[in-house]
A = this chain, B = another copy of it.
Amino acid sequence: MTADALASQAPTAAPLGSGAPVLAFDVGGTDTKAALVDADGRLVRVLRIPTPHAGEATGDAVVDAIAGLAARFTAEHPDVVPQAAGLLVPGHVDDAAGVGVFAENLGWHDFPFRDRAEQALGLPVSFSHDVRGAGEAEHRLGAAAPYRDVVVMAIGTGIAGAVFVDGRLYTGGGMAGEMGHSRVADGPVCACGGIGCLEAVASAASIARRYNAAAGADVPGAREVLERAQHEDAVAQRVWESALDALALDLSHTVALLAPEAIVIGGGLAQAGPALFEPLAAKLDGILTFHRRPVLLPASIGENAGVIGAALRARDLLVTAPAPEPAS
């Protein structure tokens, strides 16, 4: 890792509140983000590096990279001494076992991230899934906080969610919240091999890809498709509408099965704001009948939700671990 590979962001306010200083890592398919959180709950420093890709050795390379980031935090901020770390990775993640079971494009299979990270960092490590970690940040500090039964969805390159029932995160053995791989249409074929998966129709990446294929265009993202739809581009309108139809259909299944009080949507597509939320709510309303209507809300934590969720989980380790002294 070289200094050139590092990009940093300005420290933010103290979103976490007071508690132990901790390290937080959010490993994505492209970038890995790291944060040093102090006792006031400030993100003292946020760093971003490209996620190392090393085939079957990617798990080890990721652990080496976060150890390097931790060392850099120590060198820069020797006054902030982390007492635990939170680590999030994508793919199929078994939170309870501390294992990264599998991640498309990241090469690991049943990699014991928690144990390896604890060895490398010399700290207790909380390990979870990236979308569940960001969802926990939204549920404890963000838009999902007022609700006990709530689904937090991220719609970006992919689509996945964190499911909270009766106030608790539900992981389903690490496989819950994969609504991105629910069939909502007769096509196209999804990267997972499924047909008509929600993610293949309505993710930000798929909206751009479908538009480019249909229009012979080369727009970089869903934002441009929405702009063209708002300027009477019939192909863009068709692609955008079909994505909203697919999202509304999938949400209606979520509502029928789980009856959440709210559905919080983050990720790149949520940047569309009312252009997404207003027609989506109307389409969902048109499908539902007697069901409990969920409130549709944009995520509020922003791009640092992952590291904030990881930091919250790291602090949990310290709060729940020690047994109280018996009263004498």
Is residue A57 within 8 Å, beta carbon to beta carbon, of the partner chain?
A: no
Is residue A229 within 8 Å, beta carbon to beta carbon, of the partner chain?
A: no
- How many A residues are at the interface, by size bracket? 35 or more
Contact of A173 among B176, B181, B261 (CB under 8 A): B261
Residues of B contacting A288 with CB < 8 Å? 194
Stretch of A47-55, A115-123, A250-258 on the interface side: A250-258
Is there an interface contact between B170 and A291, defined as CB atoms closer than 8 Å? no
Taken together as a complex, chains A and B put the C-alpha atoms of A250 and B257 apart, in Å, by 10
Is there an interface contact between A149 and B166, defined as CB atoms closer than 8 Å? no
Residues of B contacting A179 with CB < 8 Å? 253, 256-257
Is there an interface contact between A291 and B175, defined as CB atoms closer than 8 Å? yes
Is residue A324 within 8 Å, beta carbon to beta carbon, of the partner chain?
A: no
Is there an interface contact between A256 and B181, defined as CB atoms closer than 8 Å? yes
Contact with B along A8-44 (1 / 0, CB 8 A): 0000000000000000000000000000000000000
Residues of B contacting A180 with CB < 8 Å? 256
Assembly stoichiometry (copies): 2
Contact of A176 among B176, B253, B257 (CB under 8 A): B257
Residues of B contacting A258 with CB < 8 Å? 163, 170, 172, 176, 257-258
Taken together as a complex, chains A and B put the C-alpha atoms of A129 and B190 apart, in Å, by 38
Is there an interface contact between B172 and A290, defined as CB atoms closer than 8 Å? no
Is there an interface contact between A175 and B289, defined as CB atoms closer than 8 Å? no
Is residue A165 within 8 Å, beta carbon to beta carbon, of the partner chain?
A: yes
Is there an interface contact between B92 and A175, defined as CB atoms closer than 8 Å? no
List which A169-218 residues lie within 8 A (CB) of chain B. 170, 172-183, 190, 192-195
Is there an interface contact between A175 and B253, defined as CB atoms closer than 8 Å? no
Q: A179-B256, A258-B258 are in contact. List 19 more A-B contacts (CB 8 A).
A: A102-B290, A149-B173, A172-B292, A176-B258, A177-B257, A178-B256, A178-B259, A178-B291, A179-B253, A179-B257, A180-B256, A181-B256, A182-B252, A183-B252, A192-B289, A192-B290, A194-B288, A195-B287, A253-B257
Sample (14) of A-B pairs whose CB atoms are under 8 Å apart: A102-B290, A149-B172, A170-B258, A172-B258, A177-B257, A178-B256, A181-B290, A183-B253, A193-B289, A194-B287, A250-B253, A253-B253, A253-B257, A254-B257
